[in-house]
C-alpha cells in the first residue's frame, strides 16, 4: 500500500520550496507553494527575483493539466493586489484551485487578510496556520526587517 502524505508533509515541501528562493527573492519574502491533486504533488514554485513570478504564479505556470480538485499549500498569504506582478490570490482563483492552506497571514498592510478574503469570496476553502511556527521561523528575517508599510518591499 503506497504511503500517503499529510497536509503537514505538503506544507513542509512548500517551506523547502521557499528556502530555494533565497537570496534572489530579496527584499521580497521567500515564499513556497506546492500544488497537490489526488495526494500527489503536481507542481511547485518559489518566489523569484523582484518583478518576476511569485511562488503561486511559478507553480501555476508549471502545470500541465487542469486545477480541478487541486489543493495549494502556500507559506505566506497570497498577495491580493497587482504591483510589478499580478495578484496571486486572483491567479489561484482563476486557476480553479479548490482549497488553499496558508502558513501565515501577510503582515504587509497592502495585503493583511485581503488575499484570504478574495479566496474565500470566490468559494475557495482556506485554512490558515498550518505549520505557522515553522513558517514564522523561515520568514523571521523578512518579518522583522520589513516593518509594516515598509517601502523596501519591492515587487508586489
pLDDT at 2: 58
CA-to-CA separations, 52 to 60, 102, 107, in angstroms, rounded: 13, 21, 21
Cα–Cα distances in angstroms (integers) from residue 135 to residues 70, 98, 122, 142, in the given order: 22, 22, 25, 11
For the chain, what are the domain ranges?
Answer: 7-143
CATH number of 7-143: 3.40.140.10
* 1-51 tens-digit pLDDT: 457 899 999 999 999 999 999 999 999 999 999 999 999 999 999 999 999
What are the residue numbers of the active site? 56
Residue 125 has pLDDT above 90, yes or no: yes
- For 72-111, the pLDDT digits (tens) are 999 999 999 888 888 999 999 999 999 999 999 998 888 8
Task: Write down the pLDDT at residue 144.
Answer: 60
Question: Measured over all CA atoms, what is the biggest interatomic distance in the chain, rounded to whole angstroms?
Answer: 51
Answer yes or no: is pLDDT of 119 > 50: yes
Amino acid at each position: 500500500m503506497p504511503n500517503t502524505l499529510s497536509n503537514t508533509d505538503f506544507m513542509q515541501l512548500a517551506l523547502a520550496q521557499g528556502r530555494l528562493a533565497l537570496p534572489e527573492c530579496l527584499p521580497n519574502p521567500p515564499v513556497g507553494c506546492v500544488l497537490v491533486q489526488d495526494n500527489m504533488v503536481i507542481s511547485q514554485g518559489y518566489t523569484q527575483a523582484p518583478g518576476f513570478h511569485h511562488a503561486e504564479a511559478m507553480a501555476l505556470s508549471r502545470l500541465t493539466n487542469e486545477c480541478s480538485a487541486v489543493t495549494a499549500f502556500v507559506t505566506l498569504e497570497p498577495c491580493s493586489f497587482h504591483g510589478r506582478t499580478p495578484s496571486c490570490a486572483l491567479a489561484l482563483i482563476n486557476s480553479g484551485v479548490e482549497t488553499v492552506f496558508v502558513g501565515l497571514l501577510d503582515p504587509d498592510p497592502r495585503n493583511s487578510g485581503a488575499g484570504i478574503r478574495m479566496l474565500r469570496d470566490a468559494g475557495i476553502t482556506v485554512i490558515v496556520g498550518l505549520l505557522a511556527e515553522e513558517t514564522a521561523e523561515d520568514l523571521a528575517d523578512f518579518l522583522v526587517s520589513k516593518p509594516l508599510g515598509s517601502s523596501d518591499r519591492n515587487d508586489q
